[in-house]
């Protein structure tokens, strides 16, 4: 008489504890390892004796136009409101560099033709990075 079942069961292998041990070892080695940076090559750099001061270009030009149409380039008031004066001020400030961004700030009461004149002058000089500054409207 057979009391046991004749269906054999497949053996199970539980990998959860093995994965836990591997992760713990990985964390242990990561924490206990010291990283040391060693210089392989020693380079003797030359020293400069005559240091000339370079004229720094500003990060951006800020052109402010007040309600009377008066131009201010980087907080310097221009002598008049003609396009030639504005052009000369940009040429003096930028030199040959034309990749410097220009930020245009105008008063809300500024006549429109002063803003358009400023945009025309910057475009004629080759400044392609023109931004118009605005203020955030207050929510009511």
**Residue 22: what are its φ and ψ, rounded to 5°?**
-65, -45
pLDDT at 94: 84
Each residue's pLDDT tens digit, 48-102? 566 555 555 568 888 888 888 889 988 888 888 888 999 999 888 888 888 888 8
- Structure tokens of 95? 């030199």
Asked if the structure places residue 92 within a domain, the reply is yes
Contacts of 102 (CB under 8 A, 6+ apart): 60, 61, 62, 63, 122, 127, 129, 130, 131
Model confidence, pTM: 0.55
Q: How many domains is the chain built from?
A: 1
Tokens 């370079």 found at = 54
Residue range of the domain that includes 119? 66-126
Asked if the structure places residue 27 within a domain, the reply is no
Asked if the structure places residue 6 within a domain, the reply is no
pLDDT at 138: 64
Asked if the structure places residue 88 within a domain, the reply is yes
Question: What's the pLDDT band for 136 if we cut at 50, 70, 90?
Answer: low
- In this structure, the strands spanning 61-65 and 71-73 are antiparallel
């Amino acid at each position: 008489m057979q009391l046991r079942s004749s269906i054999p069961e497949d053996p199970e292998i539980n990998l959860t504890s093995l994965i836990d041990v591997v992760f713990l070892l990985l964390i242990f080695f990561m924490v206990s390892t010291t990283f040391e940076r060693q210089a392989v090559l020693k380079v003797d750099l030359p020293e400069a004796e005559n240091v000339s001061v370079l004229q720094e270009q500003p990060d951006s030009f800020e052109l402010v136009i007040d309600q009377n149409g008066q131009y201010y380039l980087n907080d310097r008031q221009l002598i008049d409101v003609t396009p030639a004066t504005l052009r000369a001020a940009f040429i003096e400030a930028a030199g040959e560099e034309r990749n410097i961004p220009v930020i245009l700030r105008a008063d809300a009461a500024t006549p429109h033709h002063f803003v358009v004149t400023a945009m025309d002058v910057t475009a004629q000089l080759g400044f392609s990075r023109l931004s118009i500054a605005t203020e955030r409207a207050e929510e009511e």
